[in-house]
């Protein structure tokens, strides 16, 4: 793709997963504001339909951890030049000694296997453009912490896969970008991980300005909108109050 195509965003077309909430939803809104055609992908059809009505995105209800869903999705999308894998999530804060198989299976399916399945399915399309793959991982991939072993492992695996993909596809002209957010306050991430609203609130307690889903979406929008010869390999982003995974100022 030449740079002139990047200047006219109405020629750009993205698939965004995890689009029913959080970073995925915010990314759909950011790209639509810029004039992109956007396929919004998530499991919850009702929320996708609302997003489609509000933004003009194309709703595609699918579970990226289900191969049949991915195959059907691949056959529906057309002229895609960008894949943004936002679907992911954490379950539980158990220490490894008390690890629950179901939690680990969930985290590997949505963060690792789902990203692999959809990327594998769309690579033939993306190679023709050539296109862009952007994976949202986490600073949890960079530094482990107590109670995070399952999420650390899943995000580290997703990061390793992203790095390998960049090496494998550079000859096909593909651009592969990784965005690694730190503390992001979204409506569902901590709630789903911890299971209670009170516990979720404690994650962000006293932090004056955690990142928002919109903050991350703006970085994603910028990275994929740059001329194609510019590859922002890895973008680590945190709130100013978080100097490292373990260094977080609470007031």
In 3D space, the residue among 122, 135, 133, 124 whose CA is nearest the CA of residue 71 turns out to be 122
Quote the radius of gyration of the chain (alpha carbons, Å): 17
At residue 221, φ and ψ (nearest 5 deg) are -55, -45
Which residue is catalytic, options 95, 145, 151, 204?
151
Instruction: Name the residue with tokens 């007031």.
Output: 251
Cβ atoms of residues 142 and 245 within 8 Å: yes
* 242 bridge partner residues: 248
- Closest to 44 measured CA to CA, from 73, 14, 18, 67: 18
Residues 36, 171: Cα–Cα separation, whole Å: 26
CA dist., res. 31 & res. 9, Å (int): 9
Please indicate whether residue 151 is annotated as part of the active site: yes
Annotated catalytic sites, by residue? 151
């Amino acid at each position: 793709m030449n740079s002139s195509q990047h200047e006219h965003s109405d020629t750009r077309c993205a698939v965004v997963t995890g689009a029913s909430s959080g970073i995925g939803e915010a990314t759909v809104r950011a790209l639509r504001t810029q004039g992109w055609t956007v396929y919004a992908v998530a499991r919850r059809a009702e929320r996708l339909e609302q997003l489609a009505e509000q933004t003009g995105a194309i709703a595609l209800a699918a579970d990226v951890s289900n191969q049949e869903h991915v195959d059907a999705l691949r056959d529906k999308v057309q002229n895609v030049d960008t894949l943004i894998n936002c679907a992911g999530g954490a379950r539980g804060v158990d220490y490894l000694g008390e690890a629950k198989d179901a939690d680990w299976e969930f985290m590997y399916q949505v963060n690792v296997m789902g990203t692999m399945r959809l990327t594998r399915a769309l690579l033939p399309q993306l190679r023709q453009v050539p296109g862009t793959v952007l994976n949202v991982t986490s600073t949890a991939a960079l530094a482990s912490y107590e109670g995070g072993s399952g999420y650390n492992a899943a995000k580290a695996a997703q990061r390793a896969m992203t790095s390998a993909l960049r090496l494998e596809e550079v000859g096909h002209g593909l651009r592969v970008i990784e965005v690694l957010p730190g503390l992001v306050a979204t409506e569902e991430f901590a709630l789903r991980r911890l299971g209670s609203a009170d516990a979720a609130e404690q994650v962000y307690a006293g932090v004056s300005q955690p990142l928002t889903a919109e903050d991350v979406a703006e970085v994603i929008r910028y990275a994929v909108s740059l001329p194609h010869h510019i590859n922002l390999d890895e973008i680590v982003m945190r709130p100013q109050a978080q100097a490292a995974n373990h260094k977080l100022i609470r007031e």
